[in-house]
Amino acid sequence: EVQLMQSGAEVKKPGESLKISCEAFGDNLTNHWIGWVRQMPGKGLEWMAIVFPGDFETRYRPSFEGQVIVSVDKSINTAYLQWSSLKASDTGMYYCASSVSSRDGADYWGQGTLVTVSS
Amino acid sequence: DIQMTQSPSSLSAFVGDRVTITCRASQSISTYVNWYQQKPGKAPNLLIYGATTLQSGVPSRFSGSGYGTDFTLTISSLQPGDFATYYCEQSYNRPPYTFGQGTRLEIK
């Protein structure tokens, strides 16, 4: 079984950069796809991007393309989500999620990282 | 993008009730639908994948059905811990996939 441990809550100002992490325990991320899900306050779930196992190809939902960067450091079994210039509208809860087969749903989830962007 | 439309957006029910939540896809997606439960302040939890397959450890009172564009999640006898928000997700296209807007299930 895989456990995903995310970094802690962040409070940032608009225009600042941020990188949050998701460390995997119990299996190697080269065997799993891993993705990031945004949940804005009081709203539903949105897939932002996914990293495929093996070659770590990344795919972004068009609305997030150019807004964030996702990456994986396989040497420390950790995935990242980063912003170069935060906006107030980036405020929300961000979850990493993973599975062996992407079509069969995400059966492993991190606990979430709350990002608050406010001046 | 394939759109997933859930109905109702919210419902109230009693413990012991049978409840059905519907999800409609904007195009045919075979059986590539997954269902999640999310409780307040918690990460989502996968309940059903492939439209009908129960994830390991999920109680058998949860079931899924459907093919093509119309899918349902049924809870046969509501328990107190089932009051949560439920999301469908299509996994037909290449990811990232899309979720429905969610159905909030509340105690009556």
Q: Which residues contact B44 (CB under 8 A, 6 or more apart)?
A: A37, A45, A95, A97, A106, A109, B36, B37, B38, B87
B20-53 residue pLDDT tens: 999 999 999 999 999 999 999 999 999 999 999 9
Q: B96 preceded by cis ω (within 30°)?
A: yes
User: B36 CB near a chain A CB, below 8 Å?
Assistant: yes
User: B16 CB near a chain A CB, below 8 Å?
Assistant: no
CA distance A73 to chain B (A): 20
Asked whether the CA dihedral B4, B8, B14, B18 is positive or negative, the reply is: negative
User: Which of A10-14, A56-60, A74-78, A96-100: highest mean pLDDT?
Assistant: A10-14
CA distance B6 to chain A (A): 12
Neighbours of B74 (CB within 10 A): 13
Neighbours of B11 (CB within 10 A): 15
Report d(CA A9, CA A6) in Å as an integer: 9
* pLDDT (0 to 100) of residue A29: 85
